[in-house]
């Protein structure tokens, strides 16, 4: 193979000088046309006619066209930039022009490209049932083009104009990406045809020959960049290179490959690959640690146009194409572009219970509508909260082939200064001082974990990495978080990038209840070391139940390992204020507990405060209960319940006190997640000591009922029925219903004017399921008076 094959292609006729071109002007008209074409100089129709009629000299015409082209080229010159020779190559969509004929020099008279081997057609084996998508686990993508995973061979068939003769014919493949493809950047990949395929390297070999066609097996590199490549076949002739025309039908998507041992995202368990890459429906766990709730979320990573939308996110983040083979870089930039805080990213967050000109976060049933709306409008989609950011991020990661899961941390700390301490200030009477108390505990917080190696860290810190698209704090000047090694967080190695101290504080902070004395002295009344990060969960592999992964983030409270991890974190810079730094005199002989009856939206319920006096002394406790309507982030909207009483505590005995919470007290101010936060403080009058605790309560919300009517067969029409009964003592107005099911139906929404109290709404939709197998239907209801209403149904779609 001549050396020119491996060189970067010389495009736009640069192999011919103007002088050599002019020397050819006396040749016949066909030669002029061929020469002009090789230089990309095309005479206008008028000049061509004058030449043929003898009224214009061929040389004059060529000179004029050359002058015009040079002038045009000057105008098209890239702006001068002292830093780099070419502009940044950070768009997968942009393309360069690739010539069909690339001449080595002067083209002799009589040269006819049709005399040489020529490509007539390329067959890509790109249908879902064919070998490529089956072997690469990409058959679920609703995309007509070839989608393969890197580091694994795939096949194409090339049809020539005559039988291929290996002793005389020479050809190769070219994969290109972006506007400025370069071989050393991995955006221009020439592939020579050899006898063997070497794992870990680009290569191609002929595996079958028949008549005018050959079948090639092509191996991609397990470290190549991911995205959409353009494919050309180049044939060598004595006078130049002949290429196939630009054909979008041969475009090839290359994704990460968790099935390939040499890929950075390799995952060795098949069941985990099925769950964390191929499962297009997940579970979001929410509520609070004592009342865990769940809802389904449609990731929809295989739906039509979702792959292109995910690739666009990297263009939007301006990630260089050459960096798109690195899952660390991709996760880092994606955690920023998922939110809109500083880069007009995908989702605009809102935590103020006002969702004008948008969709309430609780109304979304999946990621597809959000991603496609952003891909179409290029404007942030309104609105999202943590589980929405996490759901869309999970879709992005799984779509590109990075194993990912959605994680919920119950009682999650938002520690602004990463000192592992949340302060709740009490006044002289033991009530929470809302003016001084700025910290809050989120009932739950959702983030993602992505699976990858971490060659930038010491051995042992690969595997699951925390990535978070919810905008909380800036990292390197942008609202993003991660990837942070879960192993590093567990062992306190918070010196390792990225954002490990922030995540460590989210699961390990302590709560300090501090009383402010009149002279300004702070007295710590109680330290709660177990409330934060009580439970960290994700969906189990192969099922819908909850899997506890707390032990992957932290050691058992009070264990030697836990103390060592904390010492390590402090050594690496995490600030930890010791108890010795402040006055701490806890009340040890009286304990207080707080329990709540299961509460249903719209009904009264009861809470119980229990004291246990372990001493031989009699005490009197002045007790104060504050009930607050809060956002799930722990931020208070309003205080709806105040109740105080005096409790007499007999020696060595327990005493319980019930308080009734009436629905009329909370319904008018209730927020969408129906979440309450109770603070209970008690001052022991005889000692002056204060007991304090807090508890979150989430009301039971009515659900939607989903059922089907008729046969459930792929390709045949069926009916889905959604029902809802209004349990509230008021009419619901401006109600929106959403229904979706990956492989069954795309998202459908319908507006209903009103649902009177105790009445039942029935909505019937006809659809044609497309994908056989076990599928899930997900529905949501949303209106100003009632949100977070969900329903779901598993359906088995039969093969036709």
Q: Which residues contact 574 (CB under 8 A, 6 or more apart)?
A: 418, 419, 420, 492, 494, 501, 504, 505
Catalytic residue among 386, 399, 481, 783: 386
Catalytic residue list contains 593: no
- Contact in structure between 284 and 294 (CB atoms under 8 Å): yes
Give the three-class secondary structure for 62.
helix
Alpha carbon separation from 234 to 192, 210, 241, 268, 766 (Å, rounded): 10, 20, 6, 38, 50
Nearest partner of 250 among 232, 227, 225, judged by Cα: 232
Dist. CA 63–CA 54, nearest whole Å: 17
For 392-426, b/e burial (b = at least 16 CB within 10 A) is: bbbbbbbbbbbbbbbbbbbbbbbbeebbbbbbbbb
Kindly write down the DSSP assignment for every residue of 350-380, as one continuous string. --SS--TTS--GGG--BSHHHHHHHHHH-SP
Structure tokens at 127: 């249908």
Residue 566 is inside which H or E element, if any? Answer: helix 560-571
Q: Given 31, 263, 343, 468, which residue is catalytic? A: 468
- Contact criterion met (CB below 8 Å) for 728 and 668: no
Q: Does residue 293 contact residue 312 with C-beta atoms inside 8 Å?
A: no
Cβ-proximal residues to 86 (8 Å cutoff; 6+ apart), any chain: 78, 180
- Residue 560 sits at φ, ψ, to 5 deg, of -60, -40
Judge whether 260 counts as a catalytic residue. Answer: no
Residue 234: both structure tokens together: 């180049």
Q: What is the DSSP letter of 5?
A: G
Catalytic-labelled residue, pool 286, 414, 445, 677: 445
Computed over its alpha carbons, how large is the radius of gyration of the chain?
Answer: 33
Measured in degrees and rounded to the nearest 5, phi and psi for residue 150 equal: -70, 155
Give CA–CA dist 133/123, Å, rounded. Answer: 14
Closest Cα partner for 203 from 159, 147, 151? 151
Tokens of 631: 């956002």
Instruction: Work out the widest C-alpha separation in the chain, in whole angstroms.
Output: 124
**What distance in Å separates the CA atoms of residue 16 and residue 325, rounded to the nearest whole number?**
37
Dist CA 548 CA 162 (whole Å): 63
**Does residue 445 have an active-site annotation?**
yes
Distance (Å, whole) CA 125 – CA 151: 18
Compute the CA torsion angle 713, 716, 717, 719 (nearest 10 deg).
0
List the catalytic residues: 386, 445, 468
């Amino acid at each position: 193979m001549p050396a020119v094959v491996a060189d970067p292609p010389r495009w736009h006729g640069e192999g011919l000088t103007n002088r050599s071109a002019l020397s050819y002007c006396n040749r016949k008209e066909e030669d002029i046309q061929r020469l002009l074409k090789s230089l990309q100089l095309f005479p206008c129709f008028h000049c061509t006619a004058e030449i043929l009629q003898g009224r214009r000299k061929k040389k004059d015409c060529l000179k004029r066209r050359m002058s015009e082209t040079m002038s045009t080229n000057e105008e098209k010159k890239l702006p001068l930039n002292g830093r780099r020779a070419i502009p940044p190559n950070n768009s997968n969509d942009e393309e360069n022009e690739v010539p069909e004929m690339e001449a080595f020099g002067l083209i002799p008279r009589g040269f006819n490209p049709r005399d040489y081997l020529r490509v007539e057609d390329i067959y890509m084996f790109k249908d879902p049932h064919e070998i490529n998508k089956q072997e690469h686990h990409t058959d679920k993508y609703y995309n007509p083009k070839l989608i393969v995973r890197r580091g694994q061979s795939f096949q194409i068939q090339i049809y020539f104009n005559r039988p291929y003769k290996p002793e005389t014919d020479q050809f190769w493949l070219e994969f290109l990406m972006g506007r400025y493809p370069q071989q050393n950047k991995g955006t221009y990949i020439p592939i020579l045809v050899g006898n063997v395929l070497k794992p870990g390297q680009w290569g191609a070999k002929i595996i079958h020959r028949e008549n005018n066609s050959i079948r090639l097996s092509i191996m991609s590199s397990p470290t190549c960049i991911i995205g959409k490549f353009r494919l050309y076949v180049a044939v060598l002739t004595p006078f130049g290179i002949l290429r196939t025309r630009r054909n979008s039908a041969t475009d090839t998507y290359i994704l990460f490959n968790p099935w390939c041992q040499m890929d950075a995202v390799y995952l060795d368990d098949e069941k985990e690959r099925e769950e964390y890459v191929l499962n297009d429906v997940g579970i979001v766990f929410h509520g609070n640690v004592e009342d865990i709730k769940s809802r389904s979320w449609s990731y929809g990573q295989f739906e039509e146009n979702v792959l292109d939308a995910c690739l666009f996110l990297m263009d939007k983040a301006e990630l260089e194409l050459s960096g798109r083979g690195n899952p660390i870089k991709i996760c880092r930039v994606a955690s920023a572009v998922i939110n809109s805080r500083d880069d007009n990213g995908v989702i605009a967050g809102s935590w103020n219970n006002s969702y004008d000109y948008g969709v309430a976060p609780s109304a979304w049933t999946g990621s597809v509508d959000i991603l496609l709306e952003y891909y179409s409008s290029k404007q942030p989609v309104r609105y999202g909260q943590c589980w929405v950011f996490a759901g869309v991020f999970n879709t992005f990661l799984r779509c590109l082939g990075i194993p990912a899961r959605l994680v919920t941390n119950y009682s999650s700390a938002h520690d602004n200064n990463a000192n592992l301490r949340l302060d709740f200030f009490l006044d002289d009477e033991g009530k929470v001082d809302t003016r001084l108390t700025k910290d809050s505990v989120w009932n739950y917080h959702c983030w993602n974990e992505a699976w990858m190696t971490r060659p930038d860290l010491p051995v042992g810190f690969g595997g699951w990495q925390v990535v978070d698209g919810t905008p909380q704090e800036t990292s390197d000047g942008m609202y993003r978080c991660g990837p942070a090694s879960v192993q590093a967080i567990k062992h306190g190695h918070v010196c390792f990038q990225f954002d490990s101290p922030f995540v460590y504080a989210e699961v390990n902070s302590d709560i300090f209840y501090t009383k402010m004395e009149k002279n300004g002295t702070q007295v710590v009344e109680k330290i709660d070391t177990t409330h934060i990060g009580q439970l960290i969960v994700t969906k189990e592999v192969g099922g819908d139940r909850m899997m506890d992964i707390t032990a992957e983030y932290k050691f058992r409270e009070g264990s030697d390992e836990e103390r060592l991890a904390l010492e390590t974190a402090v050594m690496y810079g995490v600030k930890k204020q010791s108890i010795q730094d402040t006055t701490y005199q806890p009340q040890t002989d009286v304990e207080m507990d707080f329990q709540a009856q299961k509460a249903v939206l719209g009904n009264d319920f009861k809470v119980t405060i229990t004291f246990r006096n372990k001493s031989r002394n009699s005490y009197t406790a002045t007790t104060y209960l504050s009930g607050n309507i809060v956002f799930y982030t722990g931020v208070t909207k309003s205080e709806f319940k105040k109740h105080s009483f005096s409790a007499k505590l007999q020696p060595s005995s327990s005493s319980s006190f019930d308080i009734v919470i009436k629905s009329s007290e909370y319904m008018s101010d209730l927020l969408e997640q129906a979440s309450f936060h109770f603070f209970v403080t008690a001052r022991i009058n005889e000692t002056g000591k204060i007991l304090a605790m807090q508890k979150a309560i989430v009301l039971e919300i009515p659900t939607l009922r989903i059922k089907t009517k008729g046969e459930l067969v792929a390709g045949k029409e069926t009916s889905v029925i959604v029902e809802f009964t209004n349990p509230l003592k008021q009419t619901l107005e401006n109600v929106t219903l959403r229904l979706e099911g990956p492989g069954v139906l795309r998202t459908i929404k319908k507006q209903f004017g009103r649902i009177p109290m105790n009445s039942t709404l029935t909505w019937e939709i006809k659809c044609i399921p497309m994908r056989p197998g076990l599928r899930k239907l997900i529905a949501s209801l949303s209106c100003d008076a009632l949100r977070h209403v969900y329903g779901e149904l598993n359906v088995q779609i039969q093969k036709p």
